[in-house]
Amino acid sequence: MDSPDRRAYSPCRRTGGDAGWIQRTRGRSGVKTIKTVIHIHTDYSPDSDISAEHLAEYADAHGVGCLAVTDHDEIEGALRVRQVANCHVIVGEEVTTRDGHLIGLFLHEWIPPGLSARVTAEEIRRQGGLVLLPHMEARVFGCGLREAASQMVDLIDAVEVVNAQHLTRAPDRRADAFARRHGLPRYVGSDAHLPCSIGPCYQELPPFETPDGFIESLRRARLVPGYHPLLSYTIPMYLRAARYLFGLPFPAHVGVNSRRRRSQARAAVVAS
């Protein structure tokens, strides 16, 4: 299949209207901007407790004009948010590669986990999407892509230079240095997994219509870094550690729509 033209197609555009999704706010320079939250998880991720409906309500209440929804190895959460939200929704996925995590934005199709980082990035590009590098310096659970990143700079479109889940700023400073060294656009990531942790970290972007336009807007964006309360970091980390180390399940309300939960539910029905 031929790669879609990144200049001409945006799978995140809502139906109807011309550019009615744009949140008309003004940045410090007086230029109209879109309050954009990147790297958010819904309950389609196995470790998240944010429903699509809650995320849509949050966007309305806090003047968010664009949400980039990036569930773990899943795009259905982003598609669900797009159905219920009044704002612009970018369909994304945080893909678990053999080398660490990569984010694909403006996706048309689900990308399976377990491929190499380079092959995953090439698949994102094949779909006309953007390759984002989240929490590249993260050391826990193999989610950072630190070693592989320098070998695939040609495939990276933007680097996450603040992750609001981090307890210290040292990993973010190293990611920022990597982005500046290679001349890559920078963004700040929410990485929210709980309703209380959606908002502190966002960017104000000039209006855009396409993936390429999004990258150009990132280069001119005003980044608003912020860090979540400690509790919003420790709860998801505890849940992941309990599952990773001891095989304990997540609570029933967490990740209720995730692929794993749906598979378990189907298996239970068949068994009965």
What pLDDT was estimated at residue 237?
Answer: 59
CA distance 104 to 65: 20
Phi, psi of 19 (to 5 degrees): -140, 40
* Nearest alpha carbon to residue 196 among 171, 227, 166, 167: 227
Q: How far is residue 172's CA from residue 174's CA, in Å, rounded to a whole number?
A: 5
**Per-residue pLDDT at 51:** 94
Q: What's the confidence (pLDDT) of residue 47?
A: 80
| pLDDT tens-place string over residues 175-224 | 999 999 999 999 999 998 888 888 889 999 999 999 999 999 999 999 99
Residue ranges for the chain with pLDDT beneath 70: 1-31, 138-144, 229-256, 258-272
Query: Rg for the chain (alpha carbons), in Å?
Result: 18
Domains in the chain, please, with CATH?
25-271 (3.20.20.140)
pTM above 0.85, yes or no: no
pLDDT at position 87: 98
| Per-residue confidence (pLDDT) for residue 88, from 0 to 100 | 97
Distance CA 177, CA 158 (A): 13
Q: Report the distance separating Cα 215 and Cα 229, nearest Å.
A: 29
Report H helices in the chain: 52-61, 76-84, 117-126, 146-149, 170-182, 211-219, 230-246, 259-271
Task: Give dist(CA 123, CA 146) in Å, integer.
Answer: 20
Res 255: pLDDT: 56
Res 17: pLDDT: 30
Which pLDDT value is given to residue 147? 82
pLDDT for position 220: 97
Is residue 18 packed enough to be buried (19+ CB in 10 Å), middle (13-18) or exposed (0-12)? exposed
Inter-helix orientation angle 76-84/52-61, to 10° = 50
Amino acid 230: pLDDT: 57
